[in-house]
A and B are shown apart, each in its own frame.
Chain A
Amino acid sequence: MSEQQIPAPVQQTKKQRPSFQLFDFFYRYGTILTIVVLIVVFAAANPAFLQSGNIINILRSISIVTIIAVGLTISLAVNGFDLSVGSVATLSNAIVISMFVWFSQNPLIAILSALAAALIVGLLNALMIVKMKIPDMLMTLAMMFIIQGLAQTYTKGATISENMVLPDGTFSTGTIPAFFSKIGQVPYIILLMAVIVLFAHVFMTYTKHGRFMYIIGGNKEAARLSGIHVNKYKIAAYLLSALFAAIGGIVLASRVMTAEINAGTPYLMDGVAAAFIGFSVMGAGKPNAFGTFIGAVLIGILQNGLVMMSVPYYAMDILKGSVLALALALTYYKQRG
C-alpha cells in the first residue's frame, strides 16, 4: 500500500493578515519604489543627476546589459540558465570587428557572421542540454569557457582595432564603417534596446510560444504530458538567448570600436542581476523582459548616482551584489510563503 488518502490541506486565501499584504506590496512594487527613492536621493545630493543628459546617459549605459539580460531571461523562462551569454557577446564582438579590420567586409556580412556564430553556440548548448541531459547551468558554464577561449584564440590574445599591427609586422588596413559606429550611439542604442525589450515582452506574454516556454519552466514533465514539444522550445530559448547576446556584443563593438579580450564577460553578472531583480517586478514572480529592463535600470541608476557621489568604481560591485541579494531574498521568501 503506497497511497494514503489524506486530503491535501486547503490553504485559505481569506486569512491574510495586514503585514502579509504589506509584504506583498513591497514584493510587487519594491523595485520600482527603490528606483524612485534612489532618484530622489541622488537628485537631492546632486541636481545634475536629473538633467536630461544624465538620464540619457544612464539609459545608454544600461542598453547593452539589458539586451544581453533579455536573452538570459528567455533561457530562465524555460527553467534554464545560460551562463555563456557573456562569452557569446565577446565572440560576436571579436568577429564583427575582425571582419571589418582584418577582412574589410561590409557591415551586413560582418553582422551576419557574428549572429551565425552565436546561433551555432546556442544550438550546441541546447542540444547538449536536451539530448545529453546535462544540467543547464553546467553545460553553459562549460560553453562559457570554450567560447571565451575560442574568442581569445581567434584574436590571438590581442585587442583588435583599426590600424593594429598584424603578426607579419604590417598594419591592418580595414576600417570600421561610419554607419556601424552609429549603432552604439544615442539615440539608436536606446531605441534598439527598447525594441528588443518590447519584442521579448510581447513574445513571452502574448504569444503561444511564450506561454509554452513558461509552462515548460513551471513543470517540464507536466508540459511534456500536455503534448508540448519541450525540446523544441528549449532549443528555441537557447537560440534566442545566444541571439540577443550576440546583438549585445555587436552593439558593444560599435560603442568601443575595438574587440578587447573578454570584453563581454562583465555583462554576464550584470545581466544575471538584472534578470533576477526583474522576477518580482509588478508581482510577475517569474522571469520577464519588462522586469529585466527595470532591474537593469535599477543597477544603472545606482551605478551612475554613486559615481556622481564620488564612490570609487572599484567599490561598485559590492553594491550591485547587495542589491541582487536583496532582490533574491524577496523572490525566494515569497516562493516559500
Chain B
Amino acid sequence: MTSPLVCMKHISIEFPGVKALDQVNFTLKKGTVHALIGANGAGKSTLMKVLSGAHSHYEGSIQINGQAASIQTPKDAASYGVQTVHQEVDTALVPYLSVGENMMMHQIEKKTFVDWKELHRKAAQRLKELDIDISTKRLVSDLTLAEKQMVLIAKAVSIKCSILILDEPTAPLSHTETNKLFSMIDRLKQNGTGIVFISHRMPEIFTICDELTVMRNGTDVAAHLVQNTDPQQIIEEMLGAPLEEQFPPRTPLKDAPIALEVKQLNDQHKLRNIHLHVKKGEILGIAGLVGAGKTELCKALFGASEKTTGTVQLHGQTVHIASPHQAVRAGMALVPEERRKEGILTEESVGWNLTAASLRSFSSVFSFLHRSKEKREADEIVKRLGVKTPSLEAKVKHLSGGNQQKIAIGKWLLAEADVYLFDEPTKGVDVGAKKDIFTLIAELAARGKSVIYASSELSEIAGIADRVYVLYDGSIAREMTAPTTEEELLYHSTGGQS
C-alpha cells in the first residue's frame, strides 16, 4: 500500500489561553475528497492553517507522501504543493487586475518584462483544462463571487498543487454554481489531487466527499468512509456531550402581543421572502450557519442595508425604516456581529461609547450635554453589567472581547429600545462573559422587551430562545418552538428536509 498524501500526527497548538488543537491526527489520501467537519471553534480552520503554514508554533509531525515535511511558513507549504482557497475570495484576488494577471501573479513577480500574450495564453489554457468559461482579459472586479472562486481554484492548481484545501467553498454559491464547482472537484480528483473540503452542509458532504473526519473542541473525534456513515451519526459526533447549563431558565410565554412583524422581506443579495414576527417579552432565535444570511437579516431589519423591500410593523403600526437612525427612533437596537468595526468606538472612552446611542436624552437647551448625568448613568451601566474597566475614561480598545461586547450591549440599555437585535453576540467572548450576556438577554425579555438572537452557535439558540426560525441560504427553512435541540437545528441549518 502506498503511503497517504498527507499524514498529520499528534498536532497540538496553543494560543494565549486556548488550546486550539490537542493531539489531532488527520490523513488525506491521493485522489480523494476528504471532508473536515465540526461546529464553530472545533479547530478545522486551525488544523488547515497548520498544514498551509500559517502557524509555525505547533507540535506534532506532518508527513507528505511518506516523507517528513517541515512546514513553518506559507512558502514551505507551497513547496509541498499545499494550496488553500479561503472563504473570503475577495481578499485573495486583486480586483483591478485581469483574470490572467491574477492567475499568473507568481510568474509576474519573478520577471522584469512580462510577455502578456504568453501570459494570457497560458492562463486561458489552465482555465480550459478545468472547463471554466471565463475570459482571461476580464477584470476580477467584474466577476461574480462564484467566478472569482473558480479563478482562485484555477490559480491554486496552476502553480503546483497536490493538496487543495477548500474552506467552505459553497457558502456563497447558488445551487447551479455549486454543481459546477463539484464537477471541477471531480476533475481535480481524477488528476490525483487530494482535496480537503471544509463545509457545514451535510448534503454536499454526502454528495462529493469520499472520507470525512469529525472534529470537536480541538480534537478529532472520528474518521469515516462517507459510504459507511449517515448524517445522524455525524451530527451526534459533532456535538458530543451535552453542554453544561449556562442558560437562564425561561418561562413559557402567555399570549403576549406581537411587537415586531415583518412580511415579504427581500434584499438584493441574500434574503428571500422572509416572514417573521416576535412577541413582547419573547426571545426569538435566528439559527443558521455562516453565510445563511443572519447578519443580512439583522441589518435589513435595522434599516442598515440598501434596497430592501417588505413591510415592517412595530406594535401593529406599519413603519418605514430606511436608515438605522429611523430604526433607533422607532425603538430598535442592534448589537452587530463585527464588534470592533461596527459596534464600538475603539479609540474612544468607555463613557462615550455607552452614551453614543442615547445622547439625545442627555442634551438640553442648545444641545448642551448634561455631563454629570451622562457620567452617572454610564457608571451605573458599568456596574450593572460588571464591565471590567479601570475607569469611564479608559479607551475601549484596551478592554477584553467580553467587556467590549458588554459595552456594545450596554449602550442600548441606556437607549431603552423595545426590540433588541443581537447578531452573534458571543463571538470571541469567553465563557464567563457569555453567561453574563445570556443572563442579560433573559432579563431584557423579562422586562417585556423583544429580543431577536441570531447565531450560528446552535447550542446557544437551543438554550436561550423561546422560538426559532432556521435560516438556510437566505430564507426561512423552518419555524420551531422551544424546546429545540442543537441536533434538530443543525439538521435544518444544513439543508436537511423533513
| Chain A interface (Cβ < 8 Å from any Cβ of B) | 1-11, 13, 206-209, 211-212, 214-215, 218-219, 221-229, 285
Contact = CB atoms under 8 A, between A and B. Distances in A.
A25 to B, nearest CB: 17
B428 A6 contact: yes
B176 to A, nearest CB: 24
Interface string B15-32: 111101000000000000
B328 interface: yes
B334 A225 contact: yes
A219 B430 CA distance: 25
B428 A7 contact: yes
B91 to A, nearest CB: 12
Contact of A225 (B168, B342, B346, B348): B342
Contact of A208 (B17, B346, B362): B362
Residue among A9, A207, A226 with the highest chain B CB neighbour number at 10 A? A226
Interface stretch (B71-79, B311-319, B353-361): B353-361
B304 interface: yes
A1 B325 contact: no
Nearest to A7: B430
A219 B345 contact: yes
B87 A2 contact: yes
Contact of B324 (A1, A5, A9, A226): A226
B366 interface: yes
B290 A1 contact: yes
A206 B369 contact: yes
A213 B320 CA distance: 26
B341 A221 contact: yes
Contact of B41 (A1, A9, A228): A1
A1 B352 CA distance: 34
A215 B394 contact: no
A11 B88 CA distance: 29
Interface of B: 15-18, 20, 38, 40-42, 44-46, 87-88, 167-168, 198, 200, 290, 302, 304, 323-325, 327-329, 334, 336, 341-348, 352, 356-357, 359-360, 362-363, 366-369, 371, 390, 394, 398-402, 404, 411, 415, 424, 427-430
Nearest to B36: A1
A215 B369 contact: no
A222 B341 contact: yes
Given A1-B44, A4-B41, A225-B302, A218 B18 contact: no
Contacts of B348: 214-215, 218
Contacts of B402: 7
A154 to B, nearest CB: 37
Contacts of A9: 16, 400
Contacts of B342: 219, 221-222, 225
Nearest to B346: A219
Contacts of B20: 4, 6
Given A8-B428, A13-B394, A226-B357, A1 B17 contact: no
Nearest to B426: A5
User: Which label, helix, strand, loop or mixed, suits the secondary structure of the A interface?
Assistant: loop
Given A6-B16, A208-B362, A227-B327, A1 B40 contact: yes
B345 A218 contact: yes
B404 A8 contact: yes
A325 to B, nearest CB: 23
B400 A13 contact: no
Given A2-B168, A211-B369, A8 B401 contact: yes
B197 to A, nearest CB: 12
Interface centre among B44, B415, B428 (most CB of A within 10 A): B428
Contacts of A6: 15-18, 20, 428
Nearest to B167: A1
12 contacts: A3-B290, A4-B46, A5-B41, A6-B16, A7-B16, A7-B401, A8-B400, A8-B401, A208-B368, A215-B345, A226-B356, A227-B329
Contacts of B343: 222, 225
Contacts of A13: 390, 394, 398
A225 B324 CA distance: 6
A11 B394 CA distance: 12
Nearest to A218: B345
Nearest 7 CB-CB pairings of A with B = A227-B328, A8-B401, A208-B363, A226-B357, A208-B367, A218-B345, A207-B367
Nearest to A335: B347
Nearest to B304: A225
A49 to B, nearest CB: 39
Contacts of A211: 352, 359, 369
Nearest to A224: B324
Contacts of A225: 302, 304, 324, 334, 336, 342-343
B110 to A, nearest CB: 33
Given A2-B87, A7-B402, 16 more contacts: A1-B41, A6-B16, A7-B429, A11-B398, A13-B394, A207-B366, A207-B368, A208-B360, A211-B359, A212-B359, A214-B352, A215-B345, A219-B345, A222-B356, A226-B324, A227-B328
A215 B411 CA distance: 13
Nearest to B334: A225
Given A206-B369, A211-B369, A225-B324, A7 B357 contact: no
